[in-house]
């Protein structure tokens, strides 16, 4: 592949990233609790992302999670403490560690909350794409599956 083509792919990927951020704001984020104070038991989008990350990324320490979200440890500590207080997370010190590392794990309530919020988000997304005909949906699905495989491989051919 030429350098010019690779640069165009990079530009399109950056544009896609921005479009996804904007699309999420317009369609998905409005389904979540805005500031954690208005809807009882409803997760904020940040809380949902943190819980999903712990569930799917196998990263469980405050430092690792804060690093991945590009926020300070103190800010992440507030988020994790709130999730723990709400009963979505437990805090554990692993036996083989020196006692300073704390690991966060989803509780049953946390798993249920993630599943419920994920289903709500999936319904919202599906509704946006249901307006397209079956052929367009199938084509979109095939491209997304291929693109996700490429992203999982880190942009390298397998």
* Structure confidence by residue, pLDDT tens digits, 17-41: 999 999 888 888 877 866 655 555 6
Domain locations along the chain: 32-130
Contact call for residues 28 and 124 (beta carbons, < 8 A): yes
Cα–Cα distances (Å) from 13 to 1, 79, 122, 124, 144, in that order, read 16, 30, 23, 24, 13
Class of the CATH-defined domain 32-130? mainly alpha
Closest CA to 115 of 38, 43, 66, 60: 43
Residues of the chain with pLDDT under 50: none
Q: What integer pLDDT is reported at residue 3 of this predicted model?
A: 78
In three-state secondary structure terms, 105 is strand
Q: pTM (2 decimals)?
A: 0.78
């Amino acid at each position: 592949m030429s350098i010019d083509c690779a640069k165009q792919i990079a530009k399109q990927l950056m544009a896609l990233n921005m479009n996804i951020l904007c699309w999420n704001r317009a369609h998905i984020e409005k389904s979540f609790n805005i500031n954690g104070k208005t809807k009882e038991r409803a997760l904020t989008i940040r809380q949902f992302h943190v819980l999903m990350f712990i569930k799917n990324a196998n990263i469980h320490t405050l430092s690792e999670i804060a690093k991945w979200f590009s926020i300070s440890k103190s800010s992440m500590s507030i988020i994790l403490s709130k999730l723990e207080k709400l009963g979505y997370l437990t805090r554990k010190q692993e036996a083989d560690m020196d006692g300073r590392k704390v690991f966060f794990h989803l509780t049953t309530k946390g798993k249920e909350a993630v599943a419920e919020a994920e289903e709500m988000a999936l319904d919202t997304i599906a509704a946006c794409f249901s307006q397209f005909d079956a052929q367009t949906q199938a084509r979109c699905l095939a491209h997304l599956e291929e693109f996700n495989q490429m992203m999982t491989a880190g942009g390298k051919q397998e």
